[in-house]
Amino acid sequence: MSHSTPAAERNTADLVRASVSGWLGTTLEFMDFQLYSLGAALVFHEIFFPEQSGAMALILAMGTYGAGYVARIVGAVIFGKMGDKVGRKKVLFITIALMGVCTSLIGALPTWHQVGILAPLLLVTLRIIQGLGAGAEISGASTMLAEYAPKGRKGIISSLVAMGTNCGTLSATAIWAVMFFCFDNETIVAWAWRIPFLASFVVMGFAIWLRLNLKESPVFETVSDGEAARPQRQRSGPVWQLMKGRSFWLATGLRFGQAGNSGIIQTFLAGYMVQTLLFNKSLPADAMMLSSVVGFLTIPLIGWISDKIGRRIPYMVLTCCSIILAWPMLSFIVDKTQNPGTIMLCLILIHNFAVLGQAAIEGITMAEMFGSQNRFAQMAISKEIGGLFATGLGPLLAGIFCQISGSWYPIFIMLIAYSCIGLLSSCLMPEVRDRDLNAPENAADGAVSDRYGAGQTAKAERYS
């Protein structure tokens, strides 16, 4: 008996609205991500932790940065399950509002010199609330676009979510680069650091307006209509039930590899270059900005290739290249005798292979790995588990290990480890290109993994 049901129809205008909505939401999420990560690496240690040594202040700033990732898992569970129950559209409206408001409020926070310990405590509070919304935002946007996009073009259309990560990274990095060009360090620490966070309110307003006019996912509508005739079916079980099966852990491995590389390259390495190696602050900011520009070619190209040859091979090639390039690229990056142009080129290459290239197909691959019954929740939880232990804790651990060892070797070792996890996961996963997203079972588990819900469905159908 087939589980597939034709999806509800959507026209081109609906697809465009869904695409722009997903792109804007992810842009806002990663604009916040890069605004905060660069802020933590470059100036927050002076604003919120001024009484600590340079190395310890950087570690504390990274720890505050990681606090939001703990909340993201809670948000992934709450909003992911809600998205599978009441729909993608309603949840995506809530997540964008939570993220946007908290990002703007960070720009209004008092500093350590004004209120003492209360300043970092307020910062952590906003990061936690912000993390609740961010925990389901990119998973919801990826799920929505995957369920909207037609077969044969899911990879390149879903790459718009990754383009949103790139646009957010580029926007935030460009803002910091302009700030360091226009203001001296004293002015930035005094008040100018607030400008990027307050300005994000404009992006949030437009994204909320767009989502108010967005239609629900056609796959969600189709599956929900089918379940209305089968009230015995349960959409999702306890959290631990959602974490069972090969599909969940393979998807988590893919996320762990990409997210870990992102945390090391985009977050920690920038701070390490400035605080420990004493590079000019503009060097890592300019490099990430140029890398994001290159990513506008890399991301859709990888998405298009995945539509032609599948999702597994691009993952394998990208992770292998990340492993091969790690030593030569990092050895140039940390060498102060090198020409700044050479250092920037190395940052751009490793960033595009290890981070942006994998991000291009992460969303569609994870969406296709999961069945229609719990796609939003399983994808969100999988992403955030990988994000917490890789992007959230990775920069903090890198700071501690580099401080203990007195060298940059822990950065290299962690980059290799993350890439190897991504490579192993891509080798073990099934090919999921253009899989039927109405199917309730997970790709790597079959009917067995979905027995909590699909087994009840089969029983209901036998007696109907």
Q: CA angle at residue 286 from 33 to 295, to 5 degrees?
A: 65
Q: What is the DSSP string of 135-154?
A: HHHHHHHHHHHHHHSPTTSH
Q: Give the DSSP letter of residue 353.
A: I
Q: What is the DSSP string of 387-429?
A: IIIIIITHHHHHHHHHHHHSSSHHHHHHHHHHHHHHHHHHHHS
pLDDT at 51: 61
Q: What is the pLDDT of residues 397-410, one digit of tens each?
A: 898 899 899 899 99
pLDDT at 5: 47
Separation between Cα atoms, residue 84 and residue 282, nearest integer Å: 43
Tokens of 11: 């026209």
Q: What is the pLDDT of residues 29-55, one digit of tens each?
A: 778 777 877 777 677 777 876 665 556
Q: Enumerate residues 6+ apart whose C-beta is below 8 A from 228.
A: none
Separation between Cα atoms, residue 339 and residue 353, nearest integer Å: 22
Looking at the DSSP assignment, which residues form a beta bridge with residue 442?
446
pLDDT at 453: 40
Torsion angle in degrees (nearest 10) through CA of 427, 433, 435, 441 = 20
Q: Cα–chain-centroid distance for residue 5?
A: 30
Nearest CA-CA partner of 10 in 151, 158, 213, 150: 150
| pTM metric for this prediction | 0.81
Task: Say if residues 351 and 290 touch (Cβ distance below 8 Å).
Answer: no
SS3 assignment, position 442: strand
SS3 assignment, position 76: helix
Task: Say if residues 414 and 393 touch (Cβ distance below 8 Å).
Answer: no
pLDDT at 270: 81
SS3 assignment, position 316: helix
SS3 assignment, position 446: strand
pLDDT at 152: 92
Report the residue count for the chain.
464
Q: Give the DSSP letter of residue 336.
A: T
pLDDT at 56: 62
* Complete domains list, the chain, with CATH: 13-220+239-452 (1.20.1250.20)
pLDDT tens sequence for the chain (464 residues): 444 444 456 677 888 888 888 888 888 877 877 787 777 767 777 787 666 555 666 666 656 666 677 788 899 999 999 999 988 988 988 998 888 888 889 889 998 888 887 888 888 888 888 888 888 888 988 999 899 889 999 999 999 888 887 788 778 878 888 888 888 888 888 888 898 888 888 888 888 888 888 888 888 888 776 654 444 444 556 788 889 889 999 999 999 999 999 989 987 888 888 888 888 878 887 888 888 889 999 999 999 999 999 999 999 999 999 999 999 999 999 888 889 999 999 999 999 999 999 999 999 999 999 998 899 999 999 998 987 888 778 888 898 899 899 899 999 999 999 999 999 999 999 999 999 999 989 998 864 334 334 443 343 334 33
Helix 409-428 with 246-262: angle, nearest 10 deg: 150
